[in-house]
Amino acid sequence: MNRSEAEKRIGALRSEITLHDYRYYVEDAPSVPDAEYDRLLRELQALEAEHPDLVTPESPTQRVGGEPMEGFEAVRHETPMLSLANAFSSDEIEQFHDRVIRGLETDHAEYVAEPKLDGVAISLRYRDGRLQQAATRGDGATGEDVTSNVRTINAIPLQLEMRESDIPWPVTLEVRGEIYMPLSGFEEYNARARESGEKELVNPRNAAAGSLRQLDPRLTAQRPLAFYAYAMVAASEDMPESHYQALQRLRSWGFPVNPEVRRVRDAGGCIAYYEEMSRKRENLSYDIDGVVYKVDSREEQKTLGYVSRAPRWAIAQKFPAQEEITRLLDIDVQVGRTGAITPVARLEPVFVGGVTVTNATLHNLDEIQ
């Protein structure tokens, strides 16, 4: 195959592989068997090996590469990655809604309700439709550059595509979302680890966080990580008028968006969504620890503003803590550096909330009683 023919075939293969990625990760509707996908990828790898001058950073073959890093560079977030206030009851959601409508001087409010994935928040920066940088939340102001590791996650587009919309992406774009490990992938990874005598992963959330902080991207590539976009926070051109519109636009450019996301109205709509997700929780393919409500209108978000390190226009409603029964084996007393004495319970190991618990401090008298 001469160079001209190879260039055309390489372009066709990249487009086809990218389309299959979109259908698998965004539409949740795989279009070819895994074996056919692998065949296309191998053909592309072979052609690029014959014509290395045709290799581009956005090629599907370039997700994994390079030598292990010595450490992670610090990244300053242009827009801070803030935490959300938490609510644990319907009464608190009604109070939140009352604050919103008072702040907006209106009678009703439209929200976008979303599952709260138990994963790792990530910020993705694109320029001219190409992934330039990926950074962790860190302390909210400064995170770590994990671009090489994030490039290994097939669900995150390296090059944006217009699939369901004729609206072009802006020159610069910042997208935020959650990297997580699907339950099936977590179980399969641990099954292989048991067979080979390697260390098992403790729970999906810790597995996702640990995978992102591997200094060797080739190790990250071995972990079954996935991604959902949950916000467009900055763009060099006009932003959509609403959060929901922003999510649909991101989806049209190739970002996976959680299919459980929907618009709801007032506190009643939020509470109904929470109850629905509580029922669905056990059957989802990923862990969630609650739901999130965000005022839909960007203009109304600006009006409400922020308090301390959290937005006034959003809140997370957490699910009740998981509880298990175990046996108290012993109580030790620890003496701290300042002389403070803390009793520590030694427990018969019990698996709860994705973690095996063997010790518990006994400094909260009311909870002990």
Cα separation, 113 vs 93, in Å, equals 12
Cα separation, 82 vs 67, in Å, equals 33
Count of all residues that appear for the chain in the document = 369
Ramachandran quadrant class, 154 (left: phi over 0; alpha: psi -120 to 50; beta: rest): alpha
Instruction: Based on the residue annotation, tell me whether 318 is a catalytic residue of this protein.
Output: no
Cα separation, 166 vs 282, in Å, equals 38
Catalytic residue among 8, 116, 199, 280: 116
φ, ψ for residue 269 (rounded to 5)?
A: -65, -40
Give which of 306, 352, 322, 300 is closest to 106, Cα–Cα: 300
Cα separation, 275 vs 28, in Å, equals 25
Cα separation, 195 vs 29, in Å, equals 31
Q: Both tokens of residue 180?
A: 């997580």
Residue positions annotated with a catalytic role: 116
